[in-house]
Chains A and B, each alone.
Chain A
Amino acid sequence: MNIIPFVKARRRGKVNVSAVTLAHGGGGKAMKDLIDDVFLAAFDEHSAEPLEDQARFELAMLQGYGDRLAFTTDSFVVDPLFFPGGDIGKLAVCGTVNDLAVGGAVPMFLSCAVIIEEGVPIDLLRKVARSMAQTAMQAGVRIATGDTKVVPRGACDKMFVTTSGVGTIPASVVLGVDKACVGDAVLVNGLLGDHGAAILCARGDMALETPIASDCACLHELIASILAAAPGTRFIRDATRGGIATVLNEIAEGSQVSIEIDEGVTPIREEVKAFCEILGLDPLYLANEGKIVVVVPPNETEAALAAMRSHPLGVDAAVVGRIGAEKENRVTMRTTLGGHRIVDMLVGEQLPRIC
């Protein structure tokens, strides 16, 4: 059994050293102090429940929210750990909350497993834990179970976080990647590519200074208001790695349809456009952490758009394309120039061009 729970004691020990050592992963007092003082102090300060090896939920309580359970997991290895607009902790909570929410689920509980490299400053861990706790609190989800491991220097890059999440799906909600129909509208909730551009800039390799910040955010409330306004919504997915281009291709394949998007109305920040021009990147493939692609039937398009725009995380929402009936299940873009190009799945990493 590898899982070591967050063991809570009545009196919490204090971590008195400045950096994580292998002792903090050894299963003894140092580990207990790290968990108590850094993680539980942030996540679970006021809980009076006795701590067990697993979180336990009342089925009856869950049933009050829906008729199906949604369960998801995601790992976070972002470099750098802190970047404009967020950090690995906020990202880990938002990412898993969003993975639940795009399926129509009400996010409820998260787990948090952290792999820490020996030598990482304790203060850095505290910052990440506080960020996770704050994001979870704002999102109304509880971090209910977790695990820590410490590995020797070089065995991981500072820290990796894995979060899993559980939520319930209301009986009325049936979303699926196979449900897009010819004539449906394709919407996004705002400016694309911010996260990818912010991370690349924050790495500092480019010697480019930009004001671009990550769009990292929990989207479940926005999604709930879309589903309320447009109950016929077919499909929602967050456009993370691989960007909007990847999600559109997944829809085209999943529903056996074609999709045409319009470059002229696809919302992209001027700074991101310029960043991509300089580096030879395509913003359609840049990662987002607070953007969703939504497919809605034609008669609910306006309602969905209005719902998105009235939410703070959807003010720049736009209808970017339509589902078509072309035989090849291709995604195409009508360029601002009036031409057409294929928007295919990304091959490998998006490597900048040289000339």
Chain B
Amino acid sequence: MKYVDEFRDGEKARVLISEIEALISSMALPPDRPLYLMEVCGGHTHSIFRYGLEGMLPKQIELVHGPGCPVCVLPMGRVDDCVAIAESPNVIFTTFGDAMRVPGSKKSLLQAKADGADVRMVYSPMDALALAQRNPEREIVFFGLGFETTMPSTALTILQAESEGIRNFSVFCNHITIVPTIKAILDSPGLQLDGFLGPGHVSMVIGTAPYEFIANFYRKPMVVAGFEPLDILQSIWMLLKQIREGRAEVENQYARIVPDEGNNAALHAVSHVYELREFFEWRGLGSIDHSGVRLREAYAHFDAERKFAIPNVRIADPKSCQCGEVLKGAIKPWQCKVFGTSCTPETPLGALMVSSEGACAAYYQYGGQKHQAEVV
């Protein structure tokens, strides 16, 4: 496949790996202290497992799988709200496929669908809007989910609905923003992180400037990384080079997609339609200030939170679930008490087991739980 295979070239991967090994051996690291590098984005986690990158890297590099899977960090209470909206009379509830299996406190959207709710999978919010035009007698709700990557497409859909005067369409907005969450992770006590692989597609929208505080204030290097295996290996190499040279900068490995200044048209739509919430609840991480957005007053008529009576109850994560520790990199997925026993992809307890981008599901699916246990 053109423009894809080039980034999966085994020969180039071997060259990069040997460069990485050379850098590591020049660092003279203590044997009990590997370098902890966090890939923020779930897309990276998925690629790392899909291509078996962890097994190819030297043992002194420990990849910590970050919170960048929007499906995974969705709290149970919000899933319950989705189910309540989906089960309201006359509603067609539309969602991206991944969100269907996320467990709520009583059921997932998939179970709500089986119980008779009209829940449909879409690939774009524009598909949901088209559904609204075709079904003027029904209320179509789109489950707006994701970081800055998907935020603009929801915003543009709302602007489109406004300009066409469509009134039977609304958005249940659960869009979240990554920067406050990286800050929350950096502020958590006892954290050992030596650098970040920055989220590629979020940065395509917001650019690289919002990460400067990570380098300047926290003195941690960050490399905005692409999603192909060679992108990830090159980004790791760039991080190691910074660490080796004592630098802490924000570098952009993914320049073929990410302009340093971001995407102005997308940012304009985002700031036009949304405002920051005071706080937003994250599964496993708790409440984080200014980490979510809601629709501005001017677009209140498209806001499902205002259109529907939703329970809006905060549901605590299951006690046995240690998603939070995994998200912060404090433990590895297989070190969680319920990993692979009461929490599996068939019956996920914690969010990280739900989506293929969640660290636990990725370990379970691609890494092999028993294999990982042996490595420990």
Residues of A bordering B, CB below 8 Å: 205-207, 270, 273-274, 277, 279-280, 328, 330, 335-342, 344, 347-348, 351-355
Contacts and interface: CB of A to CB of B under 8 A. Distances in A.
Interface centre among A273, A280, A341, A348 (most CB of B within 10 A): A341
B55 A339 contact: yes
A338 B13 contact: yes
Given A328-B371, A330-B368, A342-B365, A351 B100 contact: yes
Contact of B357 (A335, A337, A353): A353
B8 A354 contact: no
Contacts of A280: 356
Interface in B326-372: 344-346, 355-357, 364-368, 370-371
A336 B6 CA distance: 11
A337 B49 CA distance: 12
A328 B53 CA distance: 21
Contacts of B70: 354-355
13 contacts: A205-B123, A205-B127, A277-B1, A337-B52, A338-B10, A339-B53, A339-B54, A339-B56, A341-B366, A342-B366, A352-B123, A354-B145, A355-B42
A344 B201 CA distance: 28
B218 to A, nearest CB: 26
A245 B1 CA distance: 22
B180 interface: no
Nearest to B48: A339
Q: Which 3 A-B residue pairs are closest in the complex by CB-CB distance?
A: A339-B52, A351-B97, A347-B345
Nearest to A328: B370
A328 B370 CA distance: 8
Interface in B61-89: 70-71
A339 B355 contact: no
A279 B356 CA distance: 13
A341 B71 contact: no
Contact of A344 (B43, B50, B127, B365): B365
Contacts of A279: 123
A341 B50 contact: yes
Contact of A351 (B4, B51, B121, B146): B121
A280 to B, nearest CB: 8
Nearest to B11: A338
B60 interface: no
B1 A342 contact: no
Contacts of B201: 355
A274 B55 CA distance: 26
B36 interface: no
A351 B123 CA distance: 11
B4 A277 contact: yes
A335 B9 CA distance: 10
Contacts of B221: none
B168 interface: no
A347 B50 CA distance: 16
Contacts of B43: 355
